[in-house]
């Protein structure tokens, strides 16, 4: 049974930084797509960033490009989301999710939450102005 546990959320002022962690356990062999999603009250869930553990290729939604960075530590089965220059509109519950994947050269991790069967419990990020 795959388990994902997020940590690192908190409250910061605009312009500040946070680093979220997602520790994975129970994985079988093979590569995975690991994604970070967020959902603010009254808003739809949004895919923020993803990483393919096979070769580290990444994806970012436009609103976080240049500010957020997703990375992985395969030895620790952990994925990170470094969030810099935070804005009040980044306030949301952040979730880590994964699915087993085998991407071709031109492939990309899905940005749809429905593609991810495994989810963490979420960690709250609050950015004040």
Q: What pLDDT does residue 27 have?
A: 73
Higher pLDDT pick, 103 / 30: 103
For residue 28, pLDDT over 70 is answered with no
C-alpha distance from residue 88 to each of 16, 46, 57 (Å) = 10, 16, 28
Confidence band for 29, pLDDT divided at 50, 70 and 90:
low
- Sign of the torsion formed by the C-alpha atoms of 52, 57, 63 and 66: positive
pLDDT digits (tens, 9 = 90+) for 107-117: 999 999 999 99
Q: What pLDDT does residue 105 have?
A: 87
DSSP characters over 9-49:
-EEEETT--EEEEEEEES--SS-EEEEEEEE-TTS--EEEE
Q: What pLDDT does residue 97 have?
A: 97
Q: What pLDDT does residue 1 have?
A: 84
Q: What pLDDT does residue 115 have?
A: 96
Could you tell me the two tokens for 101? 């994947």
pLDDT digits (tens, 9 = 90+) for 31-88: 999 999 999 999 999 999 999 999 999 999 999 999 999 999 988 999 999 999 999 9
CB distance 48 to 108 below 8 Å: no
Confidence band for 106, pLDDT divided at 50, 70 and 90:
confident
């Amino acid at each position: 049974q795959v388990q994902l546990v997020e940590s690192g959320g908190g409250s910061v002022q605009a312009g500040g930084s946070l680093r979220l962690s997602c520790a994975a356990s129970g994985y079988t062999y093979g590569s995975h797509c690991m994604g970070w999603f967020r959902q603010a009250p009254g808003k739809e869930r949004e895919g923020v960033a993803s990483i393919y553990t096979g070769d580290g290729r990444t994806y970012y939604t436009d609103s976080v490009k240049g500010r957020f960075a997703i990375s992985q530590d395969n030895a620790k089965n952990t994925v990170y989301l470094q969030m810099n220059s935070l804005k009040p509109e980044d306030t949301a519950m952040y979730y880590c999710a994964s699915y087993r994947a085998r991407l071709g050269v031109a492939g990309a991790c899905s940005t749809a939450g429905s593609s991810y069967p495994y989810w963490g419990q979420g960690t709250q990020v609050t950015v004040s102005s």
